[in-house]
Structure 1
Amino acid sequence: MTVHDIRAFNRFYTNAIGALDYSRHLYAPYTLTESRVLYELAHSPRTDAADLRTELSLDAGYLSRILNKFEQDGLIERTASHRDTRRRHVTLTDRGRETAALLAERANESVSALLATVPSTDRPRLSQALRTVREILSDGRPPRREDVVLREPGPGDLGWIVQRNAALYAAEYGFNADYEGLVAKIVADFAVDHDPHLERVWIAELDGRPVGCVMCVRDEAPGTARLRLLVVEPDARGLGIGDRLVTAVIDFAREAGYREVVLWTNDILGAARRIYQRHGFALVAEKPHRSFGKDLTGQDWRLDLHRARGGDE
């Protein structure tokens, strides 16, 4: 392996994905670096300039010029940190989220077009090759938040949701097979009959494998969405995956025209409840019950999307 080998691969890959073909307007009207900053902001809603500078290894002056441009375009808002007035929080506006989503959609379409040329029998080999490159060049570095992607479910993913929910809740909380039956019914109902404009599933993927999931489905109450089956693999926790999955549900529910998001959980799920609280959910009711072989306290939580829009999610 030589420097020439790596540079040759870089030239090949940039041509393959069209990164140098500005006529395609993949990132227009923003540069690749600006689009990368937008991506980071979209997936880290409570970051600041110092975090961005460290995460992306950008020059402070260069990043400042990018953020100034974003602010002039109405894509971001900057506020002083409550903990350190020298630091400035950077958050996307509604327009900023829409722009980031558009750029992500264009990038996904570009890569999907590239993958369409790869035979399905070669895709596992390609995926393994990409993982190998990342593992070798990361030199043992632990995974970062940016390594996680949220995507729609593919073949087998709905079955994975059932299997991993059942296995994790059995291992961590001692739930019996009744819980697996409940999850299987929820997933089967979604698979058989769902409205893609009002209901959706997200899979969190890390290094080519699913490590988390969540569902947004219609509730019986008009104008109400229900968040269901949030789970994150133990070895992927600490990367903000739960926060991103809940954010995805909230953003989708708001865009779909729902007035509120509700969920049911149990008081023993402390980490999940803290995520819900951070996003503005309020506890509205709780009741003891015997389910899944355990004595539990069920909780109903609710998020008013109209009130949350003006607050800090």
Structure 2
Amino acid sequence: MKENQVHTIRKHSRNLAREWKLVANRADQQGLTVPEAHALIELSTHKTLSVQNIADMLLIDKSNASRALASLGKEQFVEFTENKEDRRAKDVSITTSGRKRVQQVHIEADELVGGALELLSPQEQEVVAEGLKTYAKALRYNRLQKDFIIRPITKEDNSAVAAVIRKVSDEFGLRAKDGYAVGDPMVESMSEAYATTGTRYWVVVKDGKVVGGGGVAPLQGSNDGLCELQKMYFMPECRGTGLGRRMVLKALDFARQSGYKACYLETTPELREATSLYETLGFARQESALGNTGHGVCELRYLYRL
């Protein structure tokens, strides 16, 4: 990531916040604060929520959520009831007045966004919508990854990496006797297998424990400057966090810097989330196998031009 790209995106994000009046902590012309408006919007789509539910949804601490809800309560936009399971907790629901206020928030916001979109072509509107969606997802993934570390494998990681490969393979029914990668001899000594030039393997660590990994190496049986994405395995706690995406992008960046022309991979339909990721990132399906991976059992083949 180039530094000027980071600065450019930050600049545009600041401008967006200013245009939305978020710097002044205003969400509408009648004086609702941003947390108040967001709380009302969430409550308008749920029968009841707890204060903690709302704090989690808005990514703020419970005390800030409580202050916003207390203010909404004074205006009779929300009402509080005793939680049946925990008498110390309160359930929150939106009132009729609150729903009317949410409608006003939506009307003002729709006018702001609609007016701006009228200045864009249909194609530009699609670019904006998809770009914002992708950017928001990346920010979410970055937040979810804060407790994980990705680093190069060491010899001390060998047994842990082998255990992850076996556990994930067993979870998806990928057996060594059928020809899947879990049966490769290198599984027991991954650090040594990826110690040569043009190879690299990274592990994902959480709380000092290896919970995933992935690597890249020259594609065996090919002299066309191709590398292969290999041994991508992630335990359940890694999934849904974007770590697979980060690992693939890291591997592609390494491959590009190492002078490879393209990156090849083979996988199986059982790994649906993985195949979806590869296709989203631009890997193209191949009709026939390339090189000699030793895993003819894998029905899906992809290639990414670097």
TM-score (norm 1): 0.48
Q: Considering only CA atoms, is the larger Rg found in Structure 1 or Structure 2?
A: 2
